């Protein structure tokens, strides 16, 4: 699938598109090799990116920021029906919930260490509670 027929004046080179988003050009080439981007080509075979490509790059970056991998993004971009899209997003949401829970537990550990007034952390009640949870108290 080629980019929409943008006028020649609005088409960007790979360097211009990469600069617009603060990316290296090899990133855009990689995304193209994965099937995430489909730039048009000019008469000399050079990639030309239009408004649809700008939107697509912004979407990829947004989804990456949300924690999705490129394979998942490719699956989403290929999902033609709502049920498939929801299945993919449901799995990603569950994974994110797990990562958030792990991050919260890590933060609790660090904040407990910061608020502990014991010289020896092994004497700290919070530390002992966390260790007991890890090893399973009898």
Q: 6: which residues sit within 8 A by CB, 6+ positions away?
A: 40, 48, 50, 51, 52
Confidence (pTM): 0.74
pLDDT in tens, 61-88: 999 999 999 999 999 988 789 999 999 9
Identify which of 41, 39, 20 has the alpha carbon closest to the alpha carbon of residue 29.
39
**Residue 82 domain flag:** no
Domain hosting 47: range is 1-68
Q: How many domains does the chain have?
A: 1
Residue 122, pLDDT score = 85
- 22 domain-assigned: yes
Q: Report the pLDDT value the prediction gives residue 137, as an integer from 0 to 100.
A: 57
pLDDT computed for residue 43 by the predictor: 94
- For the domain that residue 10 is a member of, what is the CATH number? 1.10.1660.10
pLDDT at 56: 96
User: Alpha-carbon distance 128 to 69, whole Å?
Assistant: 37
Asked if the structure places residue 129 within a domain, the reply is no
Q: Is residue 29 part of a domain?
A: yes
Q: Please answer whether residues 40 and 3 qualify as being in contact, where contact means their C-beta atoms are separated by less than 8 angstroms.
A: yes
Q: What are the φ/ψ torsions at residue 86 (nearest 5 degrees)?
A: -65, -40
Residue 65 near residue 56, CB atoms below 8 Å: no
User: Does some domain include residue 77?
Assistant: no
Domain assignment present for residue 97? The answer is no
Low-confidence ranges of the chain (pLDDT < 50): 1-6
* Residue in the block written with tokens 């108290």: 137
Q: Is residue 100 part of a domain?
A: no
């Amino acid at each position: 699938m080629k980019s929409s027929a943008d006028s020649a004046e609005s088409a960007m080179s790979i360097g211009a598109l990469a600069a617009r988003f603060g990316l290296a050009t090899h990133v855009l080439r990689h995304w193209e090799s994965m099937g995430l981007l489909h730039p048009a080509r000019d008469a000399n075979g050079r990639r030309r990116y239009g408004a649809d490509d700008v939107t697509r790059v912004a979407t990829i970056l947004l989804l990456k920021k949300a924690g999705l991998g490129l394979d998942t993004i490719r699956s989403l971009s290929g999902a033609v029906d709502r049920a498939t899209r929801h299945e993919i997003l449901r799995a990603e949401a569950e994974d994110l919930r797990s990562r958030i829970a792990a991050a919260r537990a890590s933060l609790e550990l660090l904040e407990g260490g910061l608020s502990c007034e014991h010289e020896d952390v092994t004497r700290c009640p919070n530390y002992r509670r966390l260790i007991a949870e890890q090893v399973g108290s009898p």
